[in-house]
Amino acid sequence: MTTIKLHNTRTRRKEDFAPLDPDNVRMYVCGPTVYDRAHLGNARPVVVFDVLYRLLRHVYGPDHVTYVRNFTDVDDKINARAAESGRSIGEITAETTQWFLDDMAALGALKPDHMPRATQYIPQMVAMIEGLIAKGHAYEAEGHVLFAVDSWREGYGKLSGRSVDDMIAGARVEVAPYKRNPMDFVLWKPSSDDLPGWASPWGRGRPGWHIECSAMAHELLGESFDIHGGGNDLMFPHHENEIAQSCCAHPEGQFARYWLHNEMLQVEGKKMSKSLGNFFTVRDLLDQGVPGEVIRFVFLSTHYRKPMDWTAEKAREAEKTLGKWRNLTNSARSGGRADPRVLAMLYDDLNTWGAISLLHEMAKSIQDCQRVQVHQQEVDDFAASARLMGLLEDNAVMGSWIFDGAVEILASKATIENLVAHFSDARLKAMETKDFSEVD
């Protein structure tokens, strides 16, 4: 029997993964706030949890896994972008949502089963807030509704490992006078006429950030589900607050049972920052000619729970490796089986680094192998193993490669005949134009 082990942030240990219902394995991952292009750090959790999604589908079947990743389309950053640009909020969120989908598709990420937008679930958020007030876990103050952290002290802070008293002592933010406790957080806030707003029992307003994920997860996955994921920068306060409000609103449920967090990303050994000139969006790299598959490969070459350092050298090496691997799998047939050793690595808390190391070994074996029948099966299994991780796929976005300005045909279905025809045509053209640069 297959056993997947996952490091549960909440328990701080690696645990055997046992879904509540093997016929409906459920996962929620926090998605982007759609006001601008996704930067490299935004993309890392998308790739990490895409691999987990693929692995769960492999083990339990594609029809038995439900993956939800939300879009935050109501937020003060969006409001600010609309005010400074003179564009409508709806126009900005529609555009940036599509940008995100296009850029993540270029990285080979599968679309989740559900991609809810926060503005589509306002009634569910209002209902959850009403329930929290009725149970004594929230209160209204000056047009705001706030969650009362003191009402759930036994559970608050367990995910991040912080005590409420320590958090209060370390707080460096100005505390609103209407808060009963400095750690209380906003569930609903008033909206002026120039800001998005919805009718509610507390007046026209809009939801706080944390309530949206709780409401959408409950609506789409139920009171208890299997996995909640995201970057470790969301652990506190976002995920901590999600747990508090969800467990108080639905005490009969468990909310998420396994919590997974990926570590942060650096660029050339330094924190990514516009002031340092090392800030890149995914689109920046794609437009510079870095294939999405290369970005994905570099991400997966580091374990998700370790800090990842993006460097130009790593990208160059990934490009060379993937080029060789695509050439090796030109003859790959469908029906290959993922290598058990690669699967074992992925079953062990998504050890993508270990899996890629094994792919290197398999590629070397294929290159060295002279036994035709065994060689073909090795090629098929190698391709299947890579595709399980979202690599070497037949993907129009990821399969078009440009190296130093020269187009190379590296799609997985390419044949020797294709290459001969390509270079023959190029030679005839060169003889006519006397420009032999492409042939060279």
* Residue whose C-alpha is closest to residue 32's, from 42, 21, 18, 44: 42
- What are the tens digits of pLDDT across the range 63-89? 999 999 999 999 999 999 999 999 999
Is the pLDDT at 374 greater than 90? The verdict is no
pLDDT confidence of residue 404: 39
SS (H, E, C) the chain: CCCCEEEECCCCEEEECCCCCCCCEEEEECCCECCCCCEHHHHHHHHHHHHHHHHHHHHHCHHHEEEEECEECCCHHHHHHHHHHCCCHHHHHHHHHHHHHHHHHHCCCCCCCECCEHHHHHHHHHHHHHHHHHCCCEEEECCEEEECHHHHCCCCCCCCCCCHHHHHHHCCCCCCCCCCCCCCEEEEEECCCCCCCECCCCCCEEECHHHHHHHHHHHHHCCEEEEEEEEHHHHHHHHHHHHHHHHHHCCCCCEEEEEEEECCEEECCEECCHHHCCCCEHHHHHHCCCCHHHHHHHHHCCCCCCCEEECHHHHHHHHHHHHHHHHHCCCCCCCCCCCHHHHHHHHECCCHHHHHHHHHHHHHHHHHCCCHHHHHHHHHHHHHHHHHCCCCCCCCCCCCEEECCEEECCCCCCCHHHHHHHHHHHHHHHHHHCCCCCCC
Residue written as token pair 């759930």? 152
Name which of 31, 78, 178, 173 is nearest 188 in CA terms: 178
- Fold of the CATH domain 312-427: Four Helix Bundle (Hemerythrin (Met), subunit A) (1.20.120)
- Structure confidence by residue, pLDDT tens digits, 343-372: 999 999 999 999 999 999 999 998 887 555
Mean pLDDT of the 122-132 span: 98
Q: Per the CATH hierarchy, to which homologous superfamily does domain 5-262 belong?
A: HUPs (3.40.50.620)
Q: What is the pLDDT of residue 376?
A: 87
Specify the domain boundaries for CATH 3.40.50.620 within the chain. 5-262
pLDDT of residue 397: 52
Output the six-digit token pair for 241. Answer: 């607050």
Rounded (5°) CA angle 214-219-225 = 70
Task: Name the segment(s) of the chain with CATH classification 1.20.120.640.
Answer: 312-427
The pLDDT value given to residue 434: 52
pLDDT for 399 equals 47
Cβ count near 321 (within 10 Å): 18
Query: Residues 368, 362, 336, CA angle at the centre, nearest 5°?
Result: 110
Contacts of 150 (CB under 8 A, 6+ apart): 164, 180, 181
Mean pLDDT of the chain: 89
What percent of the chain is predicted at pLDDT more than 70? 86
Beta bridge partners, 231, equal 262
For the segment 171-206, what is each residue's pLDDT rounded down to a tens digit?
555 578 899 999 999 999 999 999 999 999 999 999
What are the angstrom distances between the C-alpha of 342 and each of 50, 331, 374, 407? 17, 21, 19, 31
Question: Given this model, what pLDDT does residue 431 score?
Answer: 53
Cα separation, 217 vs 247, whole angstroms: 12
Look at residue 430 and tell me whether its pLDDT is greater than 80. no
Per-residue pLDDT, averaged over 382-388, amounts to 97
Whether the pLDDT of residue 428 is over 50: the answer is: yes
In tens, the pLDDT along 409-419 reads 333 333 344 44
Least confident span in 241-250, 331-340, 420-429: 420-429
Q: Once rounded to an integer, what is the mean pLDDT over residues 12-24?
A: 98
User: What is the predicted pLDDT for the residue at 418?
Assistant: 47
223 or 366: whose pLDDT is higher? 223
Dist. CA 244–CA 250, nearest whole Å: 10
pLDDT of 409 reads 34
For the ranges 44-58, 166-180, 303-317, 395-409, the lowest mean pLDDT is seen at 395-409
What's the pLDDT at 47? 98
